[in-house]
Amino acid sequence: MYRFCVAALAGPLLSATLAMAEPLPGELPVDPYEASNENAGAAPLENPDVFVAFHGQAGIDRIVDDLVDRVIVDPRIEGIFRASDLVRLRRTLKEQFCYLLGGPCDYTGRDMVEAHKDQGITMREFNALVESLQLAMDTEGVPFAMQNRLIAKLAPMQRDVVTR
């Protein structure tokens, strides 16, 4: 009995599993998966100056909205996003960037392999998206050195995102 109680209490404390976030109105259902910050693909930055340089959650929200607005009209990659749930994409990207930048957020989306496995993304297309991200960060007034802190977190994810 004692052992059962320890397991029952320790399980939720030790596990990295997160409660699934409440979907936003308009989000489409996805196949079940386990939500975990590990799905974000990298550990968060520890220097609190970076989150401040991105103007906190509000700045990250503006950057992600600008990024998504750009990629869905970029002739090099817009086709890849045509069938996507952009409400979910904006929400999960905001969570992911906030988490990676050391903000007070959990990432509740799918891991990078799972999210991109059916997209057939090339390295050129990956670079096109990063270009839009850089323009979005410029527009927000994020200093170049701080921009590079986020880019450095995202660059190794090409291994999971680029499949062709």
Write down the least CB distance from residue 145 to ligand HEM, Å.
19
Residue 109 is a binding residue for ligand HEM (CB under 6 A): yes
Nearest to 80 by CA among 37, 116, 29: 116
CA distance 162 to 117: 9
Amino acid at 104: P
Write down the least CB distance from residue 112 to ligand HEM, Å.
6
Nearest to 26 by CA among 99, 88, 80: 88
**Cβ–Cβ < 8 Å for 101, 60:** yes
Please identify, using beta-carbon distances, which residue of 31 and 46 lies nearer to ligand HEM.
31
Q: Does the CA dihedral 151-152-153-159 come out positive or negative?
A: positive
Figure out which of the listed residues 70, 88, 94, 149 binds ligand HEM, where binding follows CB under 6 A: 88
Residue 92 is a binding residue for ligand HEM (CB under 6 A): yes
Question: What are the residues binding ligand HEM (CB under 6 A)?
Answer: 77, 80-81, 84-85, 88-89, 92-93, 96, 109-110, 115-116, 119, 121, 125-126, 129, 154, 157, 161
